[in-house]
Copies of this chain bind each other. A is one copy, B any other.
Amino acid sequence: MSELKSIIEALIFASPEPVTMKALMKLLESEPKEEIESAIAALKQDYERPGGLQLVEVAGGYQIVTKQEFHEWVRRLFHERTTQKLSVAALETLAVIAYRQPVTSPEIADVRGVNTAGVLGTLVDRKLIKIVGRKAVVGRPFMYGTTREFLERFGLNDITDLPKVEDMSELLGFDLPAGVAEPAPQTALPFDALGGDETEPIH
């Protein structure tokens, strides 16, 4: 029965786990076991055709997966995925740099509450941030700032064009926790840090 085969295919495709015969019998309770079995046999045969997918038996159930021979392509898909998007950690780091620049790695880690050294490399590779100088403190850490590409990407004329935290709360209808929007030294949004005197520009 062709419709039964199609239903089983849809079920196997959509199930987060391999679908066992037992599960199928429960889901298709009005169908006799033999009918289900022969539908599965027919489906298996369907998947013998050339194509990118295969029907495998795993953990006592059935599952549709890509064929082994294409694994390299699939792997590549996940590698390439990172051109348009950023991980949450990278985006947060970028946000801190955008609003607080110039800022050092320890300072970013301090605001985010986690170490972000690895992410900085990604952002530099993507040309969204660059090293803008060194801070005149112990260890002379690099200071990071956003690039021209960053401005272009976000459609900003210059960095003062970034929406303020206050704008966000007003327009999105949520309140910022008290103190955050205030220009306290730890939370200040503005760009007063740009070209501050503790910086040593490179070249």
Residues of A within 8 A of B (CB): 2, 5-15, 23, 26-28, 46, 50-53, 64, 66-67, 70, 73-74, 76-77, 80, 83, 105, 117-118, 120-121, 124, 131, 133, 141-142, 153-156, 163, 167, 171-174, 200-203
Contacts and interface: CB of A to CB of B under 8 A. Distances in A.
A67 B12 CA distance: 13
Given A121-B174, A171-B105, A10 B74 contact: yes
A124 B172 contact: yes
Copies of this chain held together in the complex? 2
A27 B70 contact: no
A51 B42 CA distance: 11
Of A9, A83, A142, A173, the most chain B CB neighbours within 10 A belong to: A173
Contacts of A50: 2, 6
A107 to B, nearest CB: 13
Contact of A9 (B23, B27, B51): B51
B10 A67 contact: yes
